[in-house]
Amino acid sequence: MAVQRWNELTDDPNSDLSRVLRRKTIQTAWRAPVESRMKYLTEIVAGKRVLDVGVVGHVVDLHAEGGWMHGAIVKSAGSCLGVDILPEAIAELKARGFNVMLRDITAEPLDETFDVIVCGEVIEHLGAPAGLFKAAAKMLAPGGRLVLTTPNPYSDTNVRHSFHNVFDESVDHVTLLVPSGIAELAEREGLALDAYRGVSGGRLRKLRNRLRYAWIKRRYGGPATDRFSRRMIYECVKTV
């Protein structure tokens, strides 16, 4: 999968050439939303060699195993290693029998190769998100996939909150990324944005929302319907 970078065409990231190329990347990568993040991710990792980054972020849910993302990934993957930077929680998970490691992969990538690297709700906490893509490029097998989930800054809920000066994010979030930003971070490290989609949760079960979704899609195009999703899933493929 060859990817043409904008800087192969021009030195100006604001040029029409650059913007047209990026617009094409985003339009090609957009997919319709899924209802369940967990169901979708477990399908992606099925039978694969998986690295799950940030497993401790869901440790609170250990009391309800069916809702714990890492537990679901472990059950679906062919093999799975989990990493995080919180020593006490990692020790607890090891005691429970999980294959986990205390590691900041952005500082010390592993000397292992994976088919899929999952980073669920991690990138928005990183002061230097580029490090995640750099590490993934080193650890992914050719054609391997980096899967990120992260809040959608353009969801209708977030836009409404901004209008009313309401703060409803984790105070540990330092950045909220958009499709173009993900594409640029990926391409700088030899990855390519292959697909992205929203997670609608149960919102589209309501008839009123389904009708609004259909009208917005027809009037403005599919990506405009991402307003129904508070979370996005991005998939970046290793191209070199």
Alpha carbon dihedral 90, 56, 180, 105, in 10-degree steps, equals 0
Measured CA to CA, the distance from residue 132 to residue 149 in angstroms comes to 13
Mean pLDDT of 15-22: 95
Nearest to 105 by CA among 80, 76, 82, 72: 82
Query: Is residue 163 very low, low, confident or very high in pLDDT (cuts 50, 70, 90)?
Result: confident
Measured CA to CA, the distance from residue 208 to residue 219 in angstroms comes to 17
CATH architecture of 15-238: 3-Layer(aba) Sandwich (3.40)
User: DSSP 3-state assignment of 157?
Assistant: helix
User: DSSP 3-state assignment of 4?
Assistant: coil
> Is the entire prediction scored with pTM above 0.85?
yes
Mean pLDDT of 89-111: 94
Nearest to 176 by CA among 134, 222, 121, 104: 121
Q: How many CB atoms lie within 10 A of CB 177?
A: 20
Two structure tokens written together for 238: 């290793």
Query: Is residue 1 very low, low, confident or very high in pLDDT (cuts 50, 70, 90)?
Result: low
pLDDT at 158 (0 to 100): 87
pLDDT at 60 (0 to 100): 45
Residue 63 has pLDDT above 90, yes or no: no
Map out the domains of the chain as residue ranges. Answer: 15-238
Lowest mean pLDDT among 26-30, 109-113, 117-121, 170-174: 170-174
pLDDT at 49 (0 to 100): 98
Mean pLDDT (the chain, rounded): 92
